[in-house]
Chain A
Amino acid sequence: MASDLDRLKDLLFGHEKKALDALTRRLDTAESRTADVADVLPDAIDRSARHGPKLSQSLKKPLEETLTEAITRDPQRFAAALYPVMGPAIRRAIAEALKSLMASLNRAVDTSLSPTARWRARRAGLTVAEFVLRESLIFRVDEVYLIDPRSGLLIEHVRHPDTDDKDEDAISAMLSAIQEFVRDSFSDGDDRLASATIGEFTVWVCQGPFAMLAAVIRGTPPQDLRNQLDMTVERLHLTHNARLEHFDGERCEELAPELASCLRYKLRPATTSGFRLSPPLLLTALLFLAAVSYGIYDRIQRQRTLAAWNAALTDAPGIVVTASRHESRSWRRHAYYQVEGLRDPLAADPVRLAVEAGIPADRAVIHFAPYVSLEPEIVVARAGAVLKSPEGVELSLNATTLVATGEAGVSWQDKAARLGPALPGVTSVDLSGVSSSDAALYAEVVRRTVPPESVRIRVEDGVAILEGRAERDWVSRIETELGQVDGLRGHDLSDMVVVNSVELTRLRSALSDRIVAYSVGTSVARSDQLPELASDMRALLALAAAAGDPAGFTLTGLTDGSGALVANRRLRAQRAEDLIARLQTLGVPATAMRVGTREALGPGMSRRGVRITVRSESAAQ
């Protein structure tokens, strides 16, 4: 039955049944379904994308999970796949970031850096930013070479943008040669050079079977950098083993990102370093600083003091300083200040100038040789000292002409005119500005003393000189008067003859008609009265002469009425001559005495003795 029904179905629906079976098989077979979906999937995605974001939203999560898993499982595959895009982008980004860092550093330090740092930067041939960066670097990997150890050829090279562009192929080969050289020269086995230091640079070399990594490091690198370099070499051999093993001279740019990761650097912390001073050290440092500061201060002070003294000496006329210095003869002692040079004896006292500059007199050491200065001040001072110029005279120098002004006596003017041109620095003397003061003084002296005609007065250089005769009272009075005349420097009375009229009159009276008694018949006078007589006679002669009226004496012998005429006459003559002789022995000049005749006396003279009469010699003449 069943087979009949089947046959009938075949007859009626055979074709459709085959198609249905085929469809069923197709749907039941995963492979065929996959092929169907693969056929329509691109168009379906395309159409779905045109109709909205539903498909991308649906795919988002599974795709993310799938990618995450795939990257986790095999990161290198994705890195290699993305390298052509990512490598250049990363390098560009690193370069841009470093450029940006340098630019911002430039701006920052340009506005804040001290002139000293700028100068040091310029001297080092660096920009300010480069200089600051280098100063603040603890270390920086400047270059990384990956070298084929067999040929020495460079596999790849990266460097910091701040470093100079060099022929890296030559350096790579030289590094390789040096490796060979070191191994041949200093190693028995297969040891290689691992590190080299040149100045501030260190070269670290990490060996691999097919690649040698050399890092050029500025500063002091940390040990973990060494580890990183070793790991980089290992990783490169792991991921690019075939490329390295069969290196053919073509650069391997795909290795650059891996090498660039080794371009590390580390800056010093911005804060001050961890160096701290212990209190005792700090105290010592402070004391040292204080001592140094005091030393500097003290030295500056000494220099200033010496400079002040030096300036005062240099400014002083008649002093030439050729050398000056200060020195301490032992530590902590006061300084001694020393000057050497030339000094005119009339110049200022250098010790006084030292004291004024703050240098104690006993600390000033002076070695000045004498010399004659022609500076105007000194020339004027010398002229004043030599000419002994009076107070009222001012001296100055006009070129080589000594100019005197004021009041001075004629004699001083004569002296100035005579001696002035002989002085050093003076060729002529100008006295036109000097007025004589003696005339005014003369008028005042005359007014006060009212001199008698017999007195002549003159004033020279302020000194009143009086000559002639005058009464003792007048002379006594004018001495007081002259002392009260302003400007009069003194008076000279040595040529003044003092006249005493009163005494002269008294003596004239006492001596006139005086009789020296003689005993009867003798021609020898009593000697007891003669000395007083002679004294009075001498005084009268002197006073009369002083008064300008010379006097003389006439001695006339007298006899009484007794006796013969002839004998009496002889006796009279003997008595007069005796007395003259006796008086002469007592100092009365013989010239002032003469013998008179009795007849001249007239009648009535009957005495025993000698009569003395005073006569005026001027009247007689």
Chain B
Amino acid sequence: MSTRKVCVIGDFGVGKTSTVARVVHNVFSEKYLTTVGVKIDTYVHAPADAPAQKLVIWDIAGADRFGSAEMNYLRGAHGYVVVIDGTRPDTVAAAQQLLADAARRYGEVPFVTLVNKNDLTAEWQLSDDELDALSGSGHAVFKTSALSGSGVADALAHLCERMR
């Protein structure tokens, strides 16, 4: 079984940790996020028609800005999980910026985009047009809920296929 390094990135407060936590194997406690700045989880994707893959998921602590220390953690990643908050349109631009910084530093790698807080329909602010535009710009967009974890497994499965 091959292993792949996947980094979860996104603006502060978009729900990176809670969204991923719904589906992954939690090995370490969240205290590592506040101490080391990163928490490692694993996830095994075992489709019926392809060899299994094990994702080593680096959940990188969100901060007001992604500093060089956080950027170092992206080194060697095979893929990114980009998380956007559906109730905060500004997080789209932040994610775009992060992706651009990472590509400039480590090159292009596959990624999937999770538009989080899908369950907060009353506060939802991203229009379908904006999402379509995002898809059009190369993003594989998945609507997810940190509350239920819906959509996350599909997103990771998609990312696995892109990293083969």
| Complex contact A249–B3 (CB within 8 A) | yes
Q: Does A616 contact B (CB under 8 A)?
A: no
A170 touches B27 (CB 8 A): yes
* B60 to A, closest residue via Cβ: A177
Is the pair A151, B42 in contact by a Cβ cutoff of 8 Å? Answer: no
Q: Are B4 and A249 in contact (CB under 8 A)?
A: yes
Which of chain A's residues has its CB closest to B41's CB? Answer: A170
Residue contact B32 to A169, C-beta cutoff 8 Å: no
A400 to chain B, nearest CB (A): 76
Tell me which residues across on chain B come within 8 A of A150, comparing CB atoms.
Answer: 75-76
Known: A167-B27, A170-B56, A174-B32. A184 touches B5 (CB 8 A): no
Q: Which of A225-250 contact B (CB under 8 A)?
A: 248-250
Inter-subunit contact A169/B28 (CB<8 Å): no
Determine if B37 and A181 form an interchain contact, defined as CB atoms under 8 angstroms apart: yes
A596 within 8 A of partner (CB) = no
Contacting pair B76 A250 (CB below 8 A): no
B72 interface residue, CB < 8 Å from A?
A: yes
With A170-B40, A173-B40 in contact, is A249–B32 under 8 Å at CB? Answer: no
**CB proximity to A under 8 Å, residues B44-75:** 54, 56, 58, 68-69, 72-73, 75
A184 adjacent to B78 (CB under 8 Å): no
Knowing A173-B58, A177-B38, A181-B37, the reply to whether A167 touches B25 (Cβ < 8 A) is: yes
Asked if B5 and A173 make an inter-chain contact with CB atoms under 8 angstroms apart, the answer reads yes
Q: Is B122 an interface residue (CB 8 A)?
A: no
Query: Are B77 and A169 closer than 8 Å at their CB atoms?
Result: no
Contact with B along A141-184 (1 / 0, CB 8 A): 00000001011111000000000001101111110011011001
A299 and B67 CA atoms in complex are apart in Å by 69
The answer to whether B5 and A153 touch across the interface, beta carbons within 8 angstroms, is yes
Bound together, the chains give a CA A154 to CA B27 distance in angstroms of 15
Residues of A within 8 A of B72 (CB): 180, 184
Quick check: is B127 within 8 A (CB to CB) of the other chain?
Answer: no
- Chain B nearest CB, measured from A556 CB (Å): 151
Contact A249 B2 (CB under 8 A): yes
Interface size, chain B (Cβ < 8 Å): 26
List of B residues within 8 angstroms of A171 by Cβ: 27, 40
Query: Is the CB–CB distance between B69 and A153 below 8 Å?
Result: no
Other-chain residue from A166, A169, A184, A248 in contact with B56 (beta carbon distance below 8 A):
A169
- The total of Cβ contacts below 8 Å across the A-B interface reads 72
A151 to B54, CA, bound (A): 14
**B residues 101-115 with Cβ under 8 Å of A?**
none
Residue pair B36, A181 in contact (C-beta under 8 Å): yes
Q: Is the CB of B69 within 8 A of A184?
A: yes
Query: Interface residues of A toward B: which range?
Result: 20 to 34
B141 to chain A, nearest CB (A): 26
Chain A residue numbers with a CB within 8 Å of B36 are 174, 177-178, 181
With the chains together, A170 CA to B69 CA distance in Å? 20
Chain A contacts for B2, CB-based, 8 A: 248-250
Question: A174 vs B39: C-alpha distance in the bound complex, in angstroms?
Answer: 7
In contact, A169 and B78 (Cβ under 8 angstroms): no
Interface centre among B1, B25, B56, B69 (most CB of A within 10 A): B56
Contacts of A250 in B (CB 8 A): 2
Instruction: Assess whether A148 is in contact with B76, with CB atoms less than 8 Å apart.
Output: yes
Closest approach, in angstroms, between the C-beta of B17 and any C-beta of chain A?
A: 15
- The verdict on A153 contacting B3 (CB below 8 Å), with A173-B58, A178-B36 known, is yes
Q: Which of B21-41 contact A (CB under 8 A)?
A: 25, 27-28, 32, 36-38, 40-41
Q: Judge whether B28 and A174 touch: CB under 8 Å.
A: yes
Complex Cα distance, B27 from A166, in Å, reads 9
Q: Is the CB of B76 within 8 A of A152?
A: yes
Are the CB atoms of B56 and A152 closer together than 8 Å? yes
- Distance, CA A180 to CA B76, complexed state (A): 12
Residues of A near B4 (CB, < 8 A) are 153, 249
Interface string of B1-13 (1 = CB under 8 A from A): 1111100000000
Q: Cβ of B56 and Cβ of A153 under 8 Å apart?
A: yes
A485 and B2 CA atoms in complex are apart in Å by 126
> Which A residues lie within 8 Å of B42 (CB)?
167, 169-170
Instruction: Please indicate the chain B residues that have their CB under 8 angstroms from the CB of A184 in the complex.
Output: 68-69, 72
Q: How far is the CB of A237 from chain B (nearest CB, A)?
A: 18
With A174-B40, A248-B2, A249-B2 known as contacts, the answer to whether A151 contacts B78 (CB < 8 A) is yes
B105-132 Cβ-contact flags toward A at 8 Å (1 or 0): 0000000000000000000000000000
List the B residue with the shortest CB-CB distance to A154.
Answer: B3
Chain B residue nearest to A250 in the complex (CB) = B2
State in angstroms the CA–CA spacing of A174 and B78 once bound together.
16
A181 to B32, alpha carbons, bound, how many Å?
Answer: 11
Contacts of B28 in A (CB 8 A): 170, 174
* Cβ contact within 8 Å between A169 and B41: no
Cα A34 to Cα B60 in complex, Å, equals: 67
Neighbouring A residues of B32 by C-beta, 8 Å: 174
Residue of B with least CB distance to A172: B56
Whether the Cβ atoms of B37 and A151 lie closer than 8 Å is no
Q: Please name all residues of chain B whose beta carbon is closer than 8 Å to the beta carbon of A248 when the two chains form the complex.
A: 2
Residue of A nearest to B27 (CB): A170
Within 8 A of B (CB), among A170-203: 170-174, 177-178, 180-181, 184-185
Check A151/B41 contact, CB under 8 A, given A170-B27, A177-B36: no
Q: Note all chain B residues with C-beta closer than 8 A to A167.
A: 25, 27, 42
Q: Which residue of B lies closest to A184 (CB)?
A: B69
- Which residues of B sit under 8 angstroms from A180, Cβ to Cβ? 69, 72-73, 75
Query: Are B27 and A152 in contact (CB-based, < 8 A)?
Result: no
Residue of B nearest to A181 (CB): B36
* Bound: A292/B41 CA distance, A: 57
The CA-CA distance from A173 to B1 in the complex, in Å, is 17
How distant is B6 from chain A, measured CB to nearest CB, in Å? 10
| Complex: A167 Cα to B69 Cα, angstroms | 25
> Which residue, B41, B76, B78, has most C-beta atoms of chain A within 10 A?
B76
**C-alpha spacing A583/B32, complex, angstroms:** 144
Check if B27 sits within 8 Å of A151, measured CB to CB: no
> Which residue of B has the minimal Cβ distance to A178?
B36
CA distance A169 to B53 in the complex (A): 12
B58: contacting residue among A177, A178, A185, CB under 8 A:
A177
> A184-B72, A249-B78 are contacts. A169–B54 as well, Cβ < 8 Å?
yes
With both beta carbons as reference points, the residue of chain B lying nearest to A175 in the complex is identified as B40
The digit string for B130-154, where 1 denotes a CB below 8 A from any CB of A, is 0000000000000000000000000
Instruction: Give complex CA distance A251, B76 in Å.
Output: 16
B24 to chain A minimum Cβ distance, whole angstroms, is: 10
With both chains docked as a complex, state the minimum distance between the C-beta of B107 and any C-beta of chain A, in angstroms.
12
Q: Please provide the chain A residues from 526 to 543 with a CB less than 8 Å away from any CB of chain B in the complex.
A: none
17 A-B residue pairings within 8 Å (CB atoms): A153-B3, A153-B4, A153-B5, A153-B76, A170-B27, A170-B40, A170-B41, A172-B56, A177-B38, A177-B40, A177-B58, A180-B69, A180-B72, A181-B69, A249-B2, A249-B4, A249-B78
Q: A169-B54, A177-B37, A249-B3 are in contact. List 6 more A-B contacts (CB 8 A).
A: A151-B77, A169-B42, A170-B42, A171-B27, A173-B56, A184-B72
Give the 8 A-B residue pairs with the shortest CB-CB distance, closest first: A151-B76, A150-B76, A170-B27, A249-B2, A151-B5, A173-B40, A184-B69, A181-B36
